[in-house]
Amino acid sequence: MRGSIVAAAVLATGLALGMSALAQQAPKEHSMTGCLKKGTAPDTYMVTDVEGNGPKSIGIVSSVPNLAPHVGHKIEVTGTAVPPKDAEQDPNVPKAPHYMISTTCP
């Protein structure tokens, strides 16, 4: 009986650690609010004057919605973070301390 309890505890700990590692690997969708500006290359965008304590600008790596009509507007962009080394492989992506793939933009 005691061996079963120990085995169950070890199994539960292993599952919890495995789930924690999975949660850290999958990029989480998050939202940030700021002013949408055009990037220097055609059809590129960035968000400046980002609200909150995080980065103050975001380079948009790609976007599902058409961002052009929202340039100059305060927007909330929702998407997933992109590691800088991946985002900066494309020389057209505006340089920023944070990069996102935009999935929604109201």
Stretch 61-72: mean pLDDT: 91
**Position 48 pLDDT exceeds 90:** yes
Burial of 65 (0-12, 13-18, 19+ CB in 10 A): middle
Question: Distance between CA atoms of 82 and 58, rounded to whole angstroms?
Answer: 10
CA trace torsion 52, 71, 77, 44 (10° rounding): -110
Q: Would you call 4 helix, strand, or coil by DSSP?
A: helix
Stretch 80-97: mean pLDDT: 93
Burial of 102 (0-12, 13-18, 19+ CB in 10 A): buried
Mean pLDDT of the chain: 79
| Residue 100 or 35, more confident | 35
Enter the tokens of residue 35.
């002013």
